[in-house]
Structure 1
Amino acid sequence: MNWLSRAADGSVILTLHIQPGAKKTEFAGLYGEALKIRLAAPPVDGKANAALIAFLAKTCGVPKASVELVSGDTSRSKRVRVSGADPESLERLFGEDCTG
Structure 2
Amino acid sequence: MVDVNITPHPEGCLLDLKAQPGARKAEFRGFQNGALKVCVTQVAEKGKANKAILSLLRKAWGLKGSQLEIVSGQTASHKRLLIRDLSPQKMLQLLKDCGLKDE
Residues 50-83 of structure 1 deviation map (CA, whole Å, 9 limit, x = unaligned):
0111111222221112111100010000001011
Letter in 2 for 1:91: L
Identity between Structure 1 and Structure 2 (%):
30
Please name the residue that 2:46 is paired with.
45
**Distance in 2, Cα, partners of 1:49 & 1:40:** 11
Where does the alignment leave 5 or more consecutive residues of structure 1 unmatched?
A: none
**Equivalent of 2:9, from 2, 7, 17?**
7
- How far, CA to CA, are the matches of 1:39 and 1:98 in structure 2? 20
TM normalised by structure 1 equals: 0.86
Number of paired residues?
99
Counterpart of 1:99?
A: 102
Aligned residue for 2:77?
Answer: 76
Alignment of 1:20-35 (within 5 A): 20-35=21-36
Q: How far, CA to CA, are the matches of 2:50 and 2:60 in structure 1?
A: 15
**1:98 Cα deviation (Å)?**
3.6
Kept in 2, the 8 Å contact 1:35–1:98? The answer is no
Query: Unmatched 5+ residue regions in structure 2?
Result: none
TM-score by length of 2: 0.84
